[in-house]
Amino acid sequence: MKILILTNKMPYPPLDGGSIATMNMLKGLHKAGNQITCMALNTNKHAYPVQEIPSELGEAIRFIGIDCDTSIRPLALLGNLLFSREPYIAKRFNIKAFRMELRKILKEESFDVIQMEGPYPGQYLDLIRNTSRARVSLRAHNVEHLIWERQALHERSPLRKGYMNNTAKRLKHYELKLAKSVDILVPISEPDASCFGDNGIHVPRLTIPAGLNMNNYPFTELPDGHSVCFIGALDWLPNQEGLLWFLRNVFDRLLSAMPELKLHVAGRNAPGHFEKKLKHPAIQYHGEVENAMNFIRSHRIMVAPLLTGSGIRIKILEAMALGRPVVTTTAGIEGIPAKNNQHVVVEDDPAMFSSSLITLLRDTRESERMVKEARELIDQHFDTFELSNRLSQFYKTGE
């Protein structure tokens, strides 16, 4: 089959969860025998020159990047808020240059499937329907409106809470309308699939989680010391929220029990006001790291204290694959079929979160048992090539 993948950012290099999920799916669908073209909004925030993509990858998958600026513009945001019912967070991805190039490609070539990575390429669904006979698939990395709804519940500022609720309402209308309009829906987790179903979305559907190529994740011994790490994009509000919860409610408890403990934080695009919250003798802020896997490997435990979210947290999958214990929350583990105290530790209470971390730092035998079972779980459920084959087969046969 000829498959066109549309994405709102260049998936190479695969550094964050979204780009890793997209890049692994591209490789998997190609390996399953499909001809893959990836057309991406090459945004100023995630810009990467197409010509610098490694030749081996570029020869297997055709990448087309359209340079554009999707930055939030305050006046445009205000105008949208006052005079439109569309979510600005989606509208800013409606780029004229991308639309023109997509129209050209669809007129010159025929595709069997056009797969949208997330809801924002849905800005071009009208063009696709008018120009192509391809079946349209929505691969939902998250249920976006749920993230905003849940974020609003924890927001203290009345102004920000009002804006988040307004955005969530607009996103829900946009997202559900789009999901009803596509031919195939591919949620990334079962909770997300259930959410779509509960909202009356009954198009053909197959849940395919984000996958990993386990050959890229060698299992290594736990390092010595009391080193804890957090990694995640720090321009994403749920990551900021979760890390702040950890710092306010858990961190002092840890230091009281283990004064020598060090917290290592990695993540790109942290706002200046947020960086100030990381200034502490026991915290080392690394910014964006060159190699996320090396960062995770160099520390004894990873924490993922998310309070809101949707989809699947790729960094948790990576830590489990690499053999690092993970302490997370109910929201953090959503979509991953891991059992508490068997594959990971799941705690929402700050005192229990702290106590579990201390136990794993001190009990090497328990940590080693947990990481072995966690890696087996990832190997069994999240092999990217097996998952891509399932999706390819679904596209071909509907089964």
Domain range annotation of the chain: 2-211+383-397, 215-381
The first and second tokens of residue 28, run together, are: 């998997």
H or E segment to which residue 305 belongs: none
pLDDT reported for residue 235: 86
Q: Which residues contact 49 (CB under 8 A, 6 or more apart)?
A: 65
The three-class DSSP label of residue 190 is: helix
CATH entry, 215-381, from 3.30.2010.10, 3.20.20.70, 1.10.10.60, 3.40.50.2000: 3.40.50.2000
- Edge-to-edge strands, sheet with 301-304: 283-287, 262-266, 227-231, 301-304, 326-328, 345-346
Strand partners, 3: 36, 113
The first and second tokens of residue 236, run together, are: 């994403």
According to DSSP, residue 121 is labeled: G
pLDDT reported for residue 45: 79
Residue pair 320/342 in contact (Cβ under 8 Å)? The answer is: no
pLDDT reported for residue 46: 78
Give the whole-angstrom CA distance, residue 306 versus residue 303. 9
pLDDT reported for residue 269: 87
pLDDT digit string, tens, across residues 177-216: 999 999 999 999 999 999 999 999 999 999 999 999 999 9
pLDDT reported for residue 150: 86
Which residue ranges of the chain lie beneath pLDDT 50? none
pLDDT reported for residue 84: 87
pLDDT reported for residue 83: 85
The answer to whether domain 2-211+383-397 and domain 215-381 are alike in fold is: yes
- Kindly report the CATH number that applies to the domain delimited by 2-211+383-397: 3.40.50.2000
pLDDT reported for residue 155: 83
